[in-house]
Every structure is written in structure tokens, then in C-alpha cells.
């Protein structure tokens, strides 16, 4: 009887040990799976940021093939604060969120407007820049003072696929045809050559194109919307969001931020090094 009881105790102890080991393993796997982006970035010593060149002056490609712009300066400052290297990966705009979800990138910094539909898939930082949508018009359409002037049958409006401007245009324009283009440069080229009558896009990008192509296009500067741009991270990554909140509170409005705004939005010298179609 005693041997039977002792054997039972041993078996029970072994079973308990196996269960505890399994729980410990599951907890370890769960901790690894829930590691924040900030922790992972610091561990590997590199921050991988996804962006979509073509949104002037936030991100574009210079004549040497480098991705430059206001957003890249923001990304560089984040990497500096974390003490890691920065790697910038190029995607189409509508490919950025899938890239983040599948772990190809750590963050999206691409002039992305904070929107409810996007927040179902990613989490956003506090705004780091405020902008709005405006209309660029081909000079084949003189006298346009509002988007409503182009909302007539036979007119066409170019938009960049997946952007807030594309969504807004498709909501507002009931009579004109809204045409999708892969990037702002593609849509802007279509406007400057008269293939579309107008383009809806963020004000900073439109201002750059109007400055470059003033002989063929002009801007209608009354904002069609007000929008906040945010940094996107994996859904519910609260540790990373808290870090970004602290970072932006110290960075936005500071000397480095003001210098970047002046460099990219006020001083247009950078345009000499960028191919603008």
C-alpha cells in the first residue's frame, strides 16, 4: 500500500512538473510574441521604417537614389533617440500597412493621415504634422475657385491610390470621373499634360508641384479637409505608442523640428536634387 501511495505521489509530481514547464514555456512564448517594437528595435540595433516616396516634401528619391524628405528626418531623429541605425524601406502607399502587419517594417512614417478605418489595422501615434487636402488644376481649366467647379460630367480628377485625397475625392465628386494613379507624381504629370483636369492631394505636395509646373497648373488653396499625420505601429503596441508620445512631446515644436520644417517646407533648395516629373 505504501509503495502504491509513493508511486502515485511520484507520478503526480511528475505530471505537475510537466504542466508547470508547459505553462512556463507558454508564458515565455507569449512574452516573446508580445515584445514591443521599441524593445525589438533596441535588441536588433536597427529601426526599419516603411515609406512611400512620391509625397513631396515628406518622402522622395534624390538623383542618387536616396530616399529623403521631412519624414526621413523624423525617422532619423527617432533612430538617434533609440541609439540604433535607421533602415528605410520603400513600398507603394497601399502596401505599407500589410508590410507592418507582416513584420517587414517596424513603423510607417509616410505622411499617413490618422483615420478610423486605418486604426482598425494599426495604431497611430499623436500627430506630428497637420495638413489638409487641396486641389491642383490644369491651366486648361481657368478660373476654378472650388472643387465644385470641376464636378461636372466630362471632367476628370486624378488621385494617388490609397491616400486620403483619393477617399475624399470619391466622396465629393459625384459627376466628374475620379481616376486612380500609383503616386502623386503620376497624377501630377497627368494634370500638367492635361490628361486629367485636376488633382486632389495634401497641400504640401501640391504646393511643390505648382511651384515646379506653374506654367501648366495652379492651386486652389482653400482646404477641402483638415488632417493629422501620424506614425503607424502594430495594433495595440502600447509600449511603443507611449514612447512615441514622449518623443513627439519633446520633438515637435523644438529646434530640430523647426529646422526640418524650414528645410523642407520653406526652403526649396532640395528640389535641385530631386527628379520631379
Report whether pLDDT(111) > 90.
yes
Q: How confident is the model at residue 31 (pLDDT cuts 50, 70, 90)?
A: very low
pLDDT average, residue stretch 31-46: 84
pLDDT average, residue stretch 203-213: 88
* Farthest-apart Cα atoms in the chain, separation: 103
pLDDT average, residue stretch 148-155: 97
Lowest pLDDT segment from 70-74, 97-101, 226-230, 245-249: 226-230
- Return phi, psi of residue 270, to 5°: -60, -20
In terms of DSSP H, where are the helices of 134-219?
164-172, 184-192, 203-212
Report whether pLDDT(5) > 60.
no
Quote the pLDDT of residue 34: 67
Position with higher pLDDT, 10 vs 162: 162
d(C-alpha 117, C-alpha 136), whole Å? 26
pLDDT average, residue stretch 242-259: 97
pLDDT average, residue stretch 251-258: 96
Report whether pLDDT(20) > 80.
no
Quote the pLDDT of residue 277: 58
Mean of the per-residue pLDDT values of the chain: 89
pLDDT average, residue stretch 268-277: 81
Q: How confident is the model at residue 251 (pLDDT cuts 50, 70, 90)?
A: very high
| Cell of residue 265, nine digits | 517646407
Quote the pLDDT of residue 56: 86
C-alpha dist (Å) from residue 67 to 126, 196, 213? 24, 28, 22
Report whether pLDDT(12) > 90.
no
Quote the pLDDT of residue 24: 47
pLDDT average, residue stretch 127-148: 96
Quote the pLDDT of residue 33: 52
Quote the pLDDT of residue 2: 42
Position with higher pLDDT, 25 vs 36: 36
Lowest pLDDT segment from 195-199, 244-248, 252-256, 270-274: 270-274
Tally of residues, the chain: 277
- Return phi, psi of residue 161, to 5°: -55, 130
d(C-alpha 28, C-alpha 32), whole Å? 6
| Cell of residue 165, nine digits | 485625397
C-alpha dist (Å) from residue 1 to 5, 7, 8, 80, 133? 6, 10, 11, 70, 84
d(C-alpha 248, C-alpha 192), whole Å? 37
d(C-alpha 14, C-alpha 24), whole Å? 15
Lowest pLDDT segment from 73-77, 123-127, 210-214: 210-214
Domains of the chain, CATH where assigned: 38-130+228-273 (3.40.190.10), 133-220 (3.40.190.10)
d(C-alpha 177, C-alpha 156), whole Å? 5
Helix (H) / strand (E) element for 86: namely strand 85-90
Quote the pLDDT of residue 266: 83
Position with higher pLDDT, 256 vs 7: 256
For 215, other C-beta atoms within 10 Å of its C-beta total: 8
Q: Decide the pairing of beta strands 46-51 and 85-90.
A: parallel
Amino acid at each position: 500500500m505504501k509503495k502504491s501511495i509513493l508511486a502515485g505521489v511520484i507520478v503526480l509530481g511528475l505530471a505537475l512538473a510537466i504542466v508547470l514547464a508547459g505553462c512556463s514555456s507558454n508564458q515565455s512564448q507569449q512574452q516573446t510574441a508580445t515584445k514591443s517594437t521599441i524593445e525589438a528595435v533596441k535588441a536588433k540595433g536597427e529601426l526599419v521604417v516603411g515609406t512611400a516616396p512620391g509625397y513631396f516634401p515628406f518622402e522622395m528619391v534624390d538623383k542618387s537614389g536616396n530616399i529623403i524628405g521631412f519624414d526621413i528626418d523624423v525617422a532619423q531623429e527617432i533612430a538617434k533617440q533609440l541609439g540604433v541605425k535607421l533602415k528605410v524601406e520603400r513600398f507603394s502607399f497601399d502596401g505599407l500597412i500589410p508590410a507592418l502587419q507582416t513584420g517587414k517594417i517596424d513603423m510607417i512614417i509616410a505622411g499617413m493621415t490618422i483615420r478610423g478605418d486605418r486604426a482598425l489595422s494599426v495604431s497611430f501615434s499623436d500627430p506630428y504634422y497637420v495638413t489638409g487636402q487641396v486641389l491642383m488644376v490644369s491651366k486648361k481649366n481657368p478660373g476654378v475657385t472650388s472643387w465644385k467647379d470641376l464636378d461636372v460630367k466630362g471632367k476628370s480628377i486624378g488621385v494617388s491610390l490609397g491616400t486620403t485625397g483619393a477617399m475624399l475625392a470619391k466622396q465629393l465628386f459625384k459627376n466628374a470621373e475620379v481616376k486612380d494613379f500609383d503616386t502623386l507624381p503620376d497624377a501630377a504629370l497627368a494634370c500638367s499634360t492635361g490628361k486629367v483636369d485636376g488633382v486632389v492631394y495634401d497641400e504640401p505636395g501640391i504646393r511643390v508641384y505648382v511651384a515646379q509646373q506653374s506654367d501648366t497648373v495652379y492651386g486652389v488653396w482653400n482646404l477641402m479637409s483638415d488632417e493629422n499625420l501620424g506614425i503607424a505601429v502594430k495594433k495595440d503596441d502600447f509600449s511603443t505608442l507611449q514612447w512615441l508620445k514622449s518623443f513627439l512631446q519633446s520633438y515637435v515644436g523644438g529646434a530640430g523640428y523647426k529646422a526640418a520644417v524650414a528645410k523642407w517646407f520653406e526652403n526649396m533648395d532640395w528640389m535641385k536634387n530631386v527628379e520631379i516629373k
